[in-house]
Amino acid sequence: MVDAQTGEDLHIRLEETQALDRDCTTLSRHVLQQLQFSPDAQDISALMNRIGLAGKLIARRLTRAGLVENALGFTGTVNVQGESVKKMDIYANDVFISVFKQSGLVCRLASEEMEKPYYIPENCPIGRYTLLYDPLDGSSNLDTNLNVGSIFSVRQQEGDDEDGSAQDLLQSGRKQIAAGYILYGPSTMLVYSIGQGVHAFTLDPSLGEFILANENIKIPEHGPVYSLNEGNFWQWDDSMRDYIRYVHRHEGYTARYGGALVGDFHRILYQGGVFLYPGTVKKPEGKLRLLYESAPMAYLVEQAGGRASTGTEEILDVVADKLHQRTPLVIGSKEDVALVESFIKEQKRISNQS
Ligand code: AFP
């Protein structure tokens, strides 16, 4: 269709207008739109903005890490989980702390890299939130320039935690008021939820802004991908081995595993399927941390219409009994999570009979 006066193609003009609208939805504007009538709108928007800033700083460092002396490799120390710490883990951990200093928003940060939560005295007591985070998830991928991510979760600060033991954090994942992750892949993406659906933003490096890419993402009810470390096959119990034999014998399944939860989960969020990190004989609770990894991802997947389970219980119902607690994780499309659970149930039935 052509404009009679200007001779301009109206379809092109319309497409340009729509493209402009889309380009203008930044992360903070999106949060404000979602929380229009809430008294917390400004605070949550500012908080998400700071998380976005942390993501930009970490992404910038990662882009050049191979060229910067001393950016990669190990520090020579081990963290509270007994894992070797990488220099980038420490950098990313400190970035989150520094972006929240003097913000007046977050009183305390708890991360898998720190034994105890970090208090920002100048933000307390006005800071009403606690940030829990995994600063650089999948950091073993760094040596080979593969994807990594940051995972975050926001909870209301409850009480003043005078003894610093963070007992108030030992509650179910349903206490989270926001959660999400930043994926450092070919592009940097931030995916978040504040309890009103799941939304994805892509970092436009020329603008330095996270721009809305996908709104209200819904995970398919079923998908072809199963994602787990099959190298642990003989460490699992029979139920997991039976599940794997089942997917090997049936058409329509395909394996994908990248060794970083954020990337593996991101694929499943868009394409459907299931990610698993089950317990092993030696470590029945598996590898992933409840408060920093499993619970935030569970919050997202439920918001997207999927499920997250330990295999026997919804992840969001699990009450942590310590800050760095681990938990088995089965997360993804509803039908695929239920299929895995059915093998666990069957195994229990057989063991109870014998
Ligand atoms: P790293 O941060 O030590 O690389 O661990 C990543 C992670 O916590 C999670 O992102 C992966 O899904 C999982 O561990 C991979 O563990 P495996 O190497 O045992 O498969």
Ligand 1 atom nearest the C-alpha of 264 is 12
Check residues 1 and 333 and name the one with the higher pLDDT: 333
Give yes or no for residue 4 having a pLDDT over 70. no
User: Which protein residue's CA is at the shortest distance from atom 4 of ligand 1?
Assistant: 138
Q: What is the pLDDT of residue 183?
A: 98
State the pLDDT at residue 11: 57
CA of 4 to the centre of ligand 1 (A): 61
For the entire predicted model, the pTM comes to: 0.91
Confidence bin at 128 (pLDDT 50/70/90): confident
pLDDT band of residue 6 (cuts 50, 70, 90) is low
70 vs 255: which has the higher pLDDT: 255
Q: Calculate the CA dihedral of residues 196, 49, 185, 135 and round it to 10 degrees.
A: -100
Judged against a pLDDT cut of 70, whether residue 328 lies above it is answered with: yes
Q: How far is the CA of 260 from the centre of ligand 1 (A)?
A: 5
Q: Quick one: tokens of 134?
A: 């995994």
Q: How confident is the model at residue 158 (pLDDT cuts 50, 70, 90)?
A: confident
Q: Confidence band (pLDDT; 50, 70, 90) for 74?
A: confident
The CA angle 327-146-92, to the nearest 5 degrees, is: 65
- 159 and 265 in contact (C-beta within 8 Å)? no
What's the average model confidence in pLDDT over 151-178? 86
Q: Cβ atoms within 10 A of the Cβ of 174, count?
A: 13
The mean predicted confidence, pLDDT, of the chain is 90
| Minimum CA distance residue for ligand 1 atom 1 | 138
Q: For 9, which DSSP code?
A: B
Instruction: Record the tokens describing residue 209, joined without a space.
Output: 């802004």
* pLDDT for the residue 77: 75
Q: Which tokens belong to 66?
A: 């191979």
Position in ligand 1 atom list of the atom nearest CA 140: 4
Phi, psi of 211 (to 5 degrees): -115, 135
Is 126 within 8 Å of 102 (Cβ atoms)? no
Separation between Cα atoms, residue 98 and residue 103, nearest integer Å? 9
- Is residue 16 over pLDDT 90? no
Report the separation in Å between the CA atom of 184 and the middle of ligand 1, taken as the mean of its atom positions: 15
First to last CA, the chain: 75
- Give percent above pLDDT 90 in the chain: 69
Ligand 1 binding pocket, CB closer than 6 Å: 83, 137-140, 229, 259-261, 277, 287-288
Q: How far is the CA of 138 from the centre of ligand 1 (A)?
A: 5
Given a cut of 70, whether residue 5 has pLDDT beyond it is no
**Taking 60 as the threshold, does the pLDDT of residue 24 lie above it?**
yes
pLDDT given for residue 9 in this prediction: 62
From 264, 287, 291, give the residue whose CB has the most ligand 1 atoms within 8 Å, as the site to mutate: 287
DSSP codes, 292-303:
IIIHHHHHHHHH
Q: Which pLDDT band holds residue 337 (cuts at 50, 70, 90)?
A: very high
**For residue range 202-223, what is the model confidence (pLDDT) as tens digits?**
999 999 999 999 999 999 999 9
Lowest mean pLDDT among 101-105, 156-160, 279-283, 327-331: 156-160
What pLDDT, on a 0 to 100 scale, did the predictor assign at position 184?
A: 97
pLDDT for residue 226: 98
Tell whether omega for the bond before 121 is within 30 degrees of 0, i.e. cis. Answer: no
Lowest mean pLDDT among 9-23, 164-178, 245-259: 9-23
Per-residue pLDDT band at 157 (split at 50, 70, 90): confident
Higher pLDDT, 7 or 53: 53
